[in-house]
């Protein structure tokens, strides 16, 4: 489809028109100084800060928690303890202002979740309006992971902020459904040139190595037995900050909860950094040491996942780099793995 242009002053009207059928979320400022995903209340949207918001968009596809089933937990009821799939009441969602790294994370997570009906349903019901990056933060490293500041993987609509207008490309049938109302026009020649310039400049030089294929070609145990894991993991405090902020950490636990006769089976975020993640009922723990857990997180992202699916399970958003309490920096680990 041909690119379109939306005058920024029309954008609010366009989105308000979509509010009847969609819930719209965007990275909005919080009282804590960072921006984070919040439901849009009709305010000014176009101050999408550079870089990524605090949380990733995985919460929209992999909510904390996802109710897998509901059941009647009163033993006397005729349908006692029968699992029922919950009826989802949520409206379809628009995520507005998604950065290329976060959009790409959905594509990567879809690989292990290919046959997961809950995840796939949420993908179908979530519309991603991406914003390409003019400039990154010092912690951004999307190119190393196979992405790009101007990548559009995973987006339904890709927007380029040209100052007065948004230059918009429609990338999927879902995207078409969003721009179907008359706020858009065709771009002028100048706008086309400007958009091209934006992409050329922002994209920059291509990386001269294919990180994923280099890592795939290295021996599993060669990387696993690398000498640096102890020093990498030594400062780790075993919290879940990296895994919970990470857009491509997707591990979960499943648990049943009952309260006053109502029961539900939920899945919720779990972290391979937690010792209990792998602990058997017998007490035996295959990854009882911090070193093994830290190594597993990086090996999963940078070796196990690419061995299985191709790309590395990291989009270079830099959240873990910024917010790790003890500054364990995945960029350094990646470099070490490439070098060894």
Partner 1 sequence: MSSVNERITQEIQSIAASMLESGQVAAFLGYSQGTLPGTMQPFVARDVEDAKKFSWNSFCVINLANYLPALLRSLEPPRRRGEPPPEGPLPKVGVLATGCWSRNMVVQIQENQIERQRAVIVGISSRGMVSRRKLEAAVGYREITHIEEQDNSLLVRGDGFEETINRWDVVRDNCQTCVHPDPVIYDKLIGSLSGDRKIPDRFRQVEEIEALSVDDRWQWFQNEISSCIRCYACRNACPLCYCPTCFVDDSRPQWVGKSIDPVDTALFHILRAYHCAGRCTDCGSCESVCPMGIRMRLFTKKLQKDVLELYGFEPGLDPDAPLPLSTYKMDDPEEFILTHIKKGDKK
Partner 2 sequence: MRFDASEEVTMNPYLPYSAVIDDIFVETEDGNLKTFRIVLENEEDRRNWTHRPGQFAMLSIAGKGEIPIGIASSPTEKGHLLFTVNRAGVVTTALHKMNVGDPIGVRGPLGNGFPVDSELKGKNIVIIAGGFAFTTLRATLIYMLEHRGDYENITVIYGARTPGMLLYKDELKQWQERDDLNVYITVDREAPGWDGLVGFVPTIAGQVKPSPENAAALICGPPIMIKFTMPPLEEVGWRNDQVYLSLENRMKCAIGICGHCNVGPVYVCKDGPVFTRAEVQRLPVEF
**Which residues sit at the interface with partner 1, rule CB under 8 A?**
30, 32-34, 36, 50-51, 54-55, 64-65, 135, 137-139, 234-235, 237-241, 243-245, 253, 255, 257, 266, 268-269, 271, 274, 276, 321-323, 325-329, 331-332
Task: Give me the residues paired with residue 263 across strands.
Answer: 71, 258
Residue 202's binding partner out of partner 1, partner 2, none, with CB under 5 to 8 Å set by partner kind: none
State the nearest-atom distance from the C-beta of 294 to partner 1, in Å. Answer: 13
Q: Which of residues 120-139 bind partner 2 (CB under 8 A)?
A: 120-121, 124-125
First-to-last alpha carbon distance for the chain, in angstroms, is 45
CA distances from 65 to 72, 98, 116, 231, 269 (A): 19, 22, 15, 34, 7
CB 144 within 8 A of CB 334: yes
Strand pairing report for 4-7 and 165-170: antiparallel
User: Does 287 engage in binding with partner 2 (CB under 8 A)?
Assistant: yes
CA distance 36 to 56: 9
What is the footprint of partner 2 within residues 262-281 (CB under 8 A)? 263, 265, 267, 270, 272, 277-281
Residues in the chain: 340
DSSP string, 227-246: TTHHHHHTT----SHHHHH-
Establish if 68 lies at the interface with partner 2 (CB under 8 A): yes
Which entry of partner 2, partner 1, none binds 239, CB below 5 to 8 A by partner kind? partner 1
* Least distance between partner 2 and beta carbon 226 (Å): 12
Is there a contact between 44 and 10 (Cβ–Cβ < 8 Å)? no
- Decide whether 38 or 110 has the Cβ nearer to partner 2: 110
By beta-carbon proximity to partner 2, the closer residue of 106 and 165 is 106
Task: Choose from partner 1, partner 2, none: what does 36 bind? Cβ within 5-8 Å by kind.
Answer: partner 1
């Amino acid at each position: 489809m041909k690119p379109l242009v939306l005058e920024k002053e029309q954008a609010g009207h366009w989105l308000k028109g979509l509010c009847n059928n969609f819930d719209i979320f965007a990275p909005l400022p919080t009282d804590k100084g960072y921006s984070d995903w919040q439901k849009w209340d009709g305010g000014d949207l176009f101050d999408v800060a550079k870089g990524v918001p605090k949380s990733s968009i995985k919460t929209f596809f992999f909510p904390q928690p996802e109710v897998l089933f509901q059941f009647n937990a009163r033993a006397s009821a005729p349908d006692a303890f029968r699992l029922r799939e919950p009826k989802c009441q949520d409206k379809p969602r628009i995520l507005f202002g998604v950065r290329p790294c976060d959009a790409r994370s959905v594509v990567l997570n879809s690989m292990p979740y290919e046959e997961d009906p809950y995840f796939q349903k949420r993908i179908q019901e979530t519309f991603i309006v991406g914003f390409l990056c003019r400039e990154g933060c010092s912690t951004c490293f999307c190119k190393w992971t196979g992405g790009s500041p101007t990548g559009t993987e995973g987006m339904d609509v890709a927007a380029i902020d040209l100052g007065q207008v948004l230059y918009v490309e429609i990338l999927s049938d879902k995207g078409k459904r969003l721009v179907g109302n008359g706020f858009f026009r065709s771009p002028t020649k100048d706008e086309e040139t400007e958009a091209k310039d934006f992409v050329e400049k922002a994209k920059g030089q291509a990386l001269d190595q294919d990180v994923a294929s280099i890592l795939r070609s290295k021996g599993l145990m060669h990387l696993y037995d690398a000498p640096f894991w102890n020093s990498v993991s030594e400062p780790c405090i075993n919290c879940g900050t990296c895994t919970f902020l990470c857009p491509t950490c997707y591990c979960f636990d499943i648990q049943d909860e009952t309260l006053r006769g109502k029961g539900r089976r939920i899945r919720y975020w779990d972290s391979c950094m937690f010792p209990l993640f792998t602990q058997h009922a017998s007490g035996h723990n295959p990854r009882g040491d911090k070193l093994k857990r830290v190594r597993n997180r990086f090996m999963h992202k940078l070796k196990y996942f690419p061995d299985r699916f191709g790309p590395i399970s990291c989009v270079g958003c830099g959240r873990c780099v910024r917010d790790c309490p003890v500054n364990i920096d995945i960029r350094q680990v990646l470099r070490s793995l490439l070098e060894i």
